[in-house]
Amino acid sequence: MKTINASIVIILFCLAIVNAQEVIPLYEGQAPGSESWNWNEAAYINEAFNLNIVYNVSNPTLTAFLPDEGKANGTAIIVAPGGAFHILSIDSEGYAVAKWLNSRGIAAFVLKYRLVKSETENPIAELMPLMADFKKLDEINAPVVQMANQDGLTAVKYVREHAAEFGIEPDRIGFMGFSAGATLTLSVVQTATDENRPDFVAPIYPYENAILGSAIPEERTPVFIAAASDDELGLALHSVDIYTKWLNAKQPAELHMYEKGGHGFGMQKKNTTSDHWISDFETWLKFQKLISEKL
């Protein structure tokens, strides 16, 4: 009974956070390409991984987190949680990040992008066997990755078109993501046009093999990359490779590779060196003049 009660408290807390924010549908009616999807978004708490997740997203949205009045600095970041394109780690890689960004004067927009449909109410149990075979997982995900990329591009376009009403500078819109969300981040920036290209990006422990597009922008687009050397999915070198490509393209590039932290550290405190990624990100944002040096 204690576990059930704790879960209810967490669910109510998460609902309170979302209900206090504006939830913005990305499309009028069904999203293009998935008009036949008739399942409903659901939430799930996985106690083994200490994760609050969302799954079965069929109607993509942005949840707007805006800084307190007088603290906004004109910068905005779209935040894409990860979860292998099957789930979204909505707290650690979404809402918690957005609240931290708000504390630094940045407007945040948490993106729920389209996901592969779960056939049960335990999406993590469905996903785990697939993680043993990335090739098979990539084949399953491929059509949805294309849809998620369109959601990401649409999100950037929306935030830029509505920059004035959100108090945002249209040339200070970034995109950051975690794991699959980091893969989406890089796909968005490498497939974008001028109207939907982010001005800076921050892929955190990305998976390189599923990234769409190969054209690193010619326009100045700073990148901040972070991962852990002990990433149990073996993705540490993916970050190194991405960093090298951006460096060779003569783009401003910064890479932080932490000795410990594993995959999926997000905003969770693990008492490892990865706990400091967010402070390193803050330093980078200051250096890029995206937040004030006085914070």
Break the chain into its structural domains and give their ranges: 23-287
| Percent of the chain whose predicted confidence (pLDDT) is above 70 | 92
Q: What CATH number was assigned to the domain covering residues 23-287?
A: 3.40.50.1820
Give per-residue pLDDT as tens, 134-154: 999 999 999 999 999 999 999
Query: How many Cβ atoms from other residues are within 10 Å of residue 7's Cβ?
Result: 14
Distance, in Å, from the CA atom of 155 to the CA atom of 178, rounded to the nearest integer, reads: 17
45 touches 89 (CB < 8 A): no
Q: What's the whole-number average pLDDT of the chain?
A: 92
What pLDDT score was predicted for residue 20? 58
Query: Helices 180-191 and 134-161 meet at what angle, rounded to 10?
Result: 60
Distance, in Å, from the CA atom of 96 to the CA atom of 27, rounded to the nearest integer, reads: 25
Half-sphere exposure of residue 294, counting CA atoms within 13 Å on the CB side? 3
Tell how far CA 68 is from the center of its chain. 22
81 touches 65 (CB < 8 A): no
What pLDDT score was predicted for residue 7? 39
Give per-residue pLDDT as tens, 179-218: 999 999 999 999 999 999 999 999 999 999 999 999 999 9
Q: Give all strands of the β-sheet with 42-46 in edge-to-edge order.
A: 42-46, 51-55, 87-89
The 10 Å CB-count burial string (b at 16+, else e) for 117-130 is bbeeeebbebbeeb
At residue 88, the 3 state secondary structure works out as: strand
pTM of the predicted model, to two decimals?
0.92
